[in-house]
Amino acid sequence: MIDLTRLHAHEMARLLRHGDVTARELTEAHLALAERQNRALNAWLTIDRDRALAEADAADARLAAARAEGARAVDALHPILGIPIALKDLVSVAGGKATAGSRILDGYRAPYDAHITERLRDAGAVILGKTNMDEFAMGSSTEHSAYGPTANPWALDRVPGGSSGGSAAAVAAFHAPVSIGTDTGGSIRQPAALCGIVGLKPTYGRVSRYGIVAFASSLDQIGPFARNARDAAALLHAVAGRDERDSTSAPVSVPDELLSLPAADDEAAGWLRGKRLGLPREYFVAGMEPQVEHRVRAAVAALEAAGARVDEVSLPHTDYGLATYYIVAPAEASANLARYDGIRYGPRLGNGTVLENYLATRGRGFGPEVKRRIMLGTYALSAGYYDAYYLKAQKVRTLIKQDFDRLWLEGFDALVAPTSPTVAFPFGAKMADPVSMYLSDACTLPVNMAGLPGISVPCGLADGLPVGLQFIGAAWSELELFHLSRAYEAITAGADWRGLEPADLARADDPGTPTPAERAGVLSAS
Ligand code: GLN
Domains and CATH numbers, the chain: 4-320+397-525 (3.90.1300.10)
524 is catalytic: no
pLDDT at position 526: 42
The rounded distance, in Å, linking the Cα atoms of 507 and 501 is: 13
Check if 334 is active-site: no
Query: Does the C-beta of 163 come closer than 6 Å to ligand 1?
Result: yes
**Is any ligand 1 atom within 6 A of the Cβ of residue 185?**
yes
Residue ranges for the chain with pLDDT beneath 70: 522-526
Q: Name every residue whose Cβ is closer than 8 Å to that of residue 286 and which is 6 or more positions away in sequence.
A: none
Catalytic residue among 102, 145, 187, 420: 187
- From residue 354, alpha-carbon distances to 38, 342, 348, 350, 362 in Å are 39, 9, 11, 9, 12
Pocket lining: 187 vs ligand 1, CB cutoff 6 Å: yes
Closest CA to 477 of 460, 453, 512, 497: 453
> Tell me: the pLDDT tens digits for 85-94?
999 999 999 9
Segment 439-489, tens digit of pLDDT? 999 999 999 999 999 999 999 999 999 999 999 999 999 999 999 999 999
What pLDDT does 522 receive? 66
pLDDT at res. 293: 98
Instruction: Assess whether the C-beta atom of 441 lies below 6 angstroms from ligand 1.
Output: yes
**Ligand 1 closest atom vs CA 329:** 10
Do 81 and 13 form a contact (C-beta atoms < 8 A)? yes
The protein residue with its alpha carbon nearest to ligand 1, atom 5, reads: 185
| Per-residue model confidence (pLDDT) at position 346 | 82
444 lines ligand 1 (CB under 6 A): no
Query: 139 C-alpha to center of ligand 1: Å?
Result: 5
Pick the closest to residue 98 from 348, 357, 314, 345 (CA basis). Answer: 345
pLDDT given at position 347: 86
Q: Determine contact, residues 204/81, Cβ cutoff 8 Å.
A: no
Instruction: Spot the catalytic one: 102, 140, 141, 163.
Output: 163
CA 492 – ligand 1 centroid, Å: 30
Crossing angle of the two packed helices 9-18 and 229-239, in degrees rounded to 10: 70
Q: Is 187 a catalytic residue?
A: yes
**Ligand 1 centre from 323 Cα, in Å?**
13
Ligand 1 geometric centre to CA of 140 (Å): 6
Q: Which residues contact 338 (CB under 8 A, 6 or more apart)?
A: none
Ligand 1 close to Cβ of residue 202 (< 6 A): no
| Shortest-distance atom of ligand 1 to CA 183 | 8
Q: Are 182 and 222 in contact (CB under 8 A)?
A: yes
Distance 498 CA to ligand 1 centre (A): 29
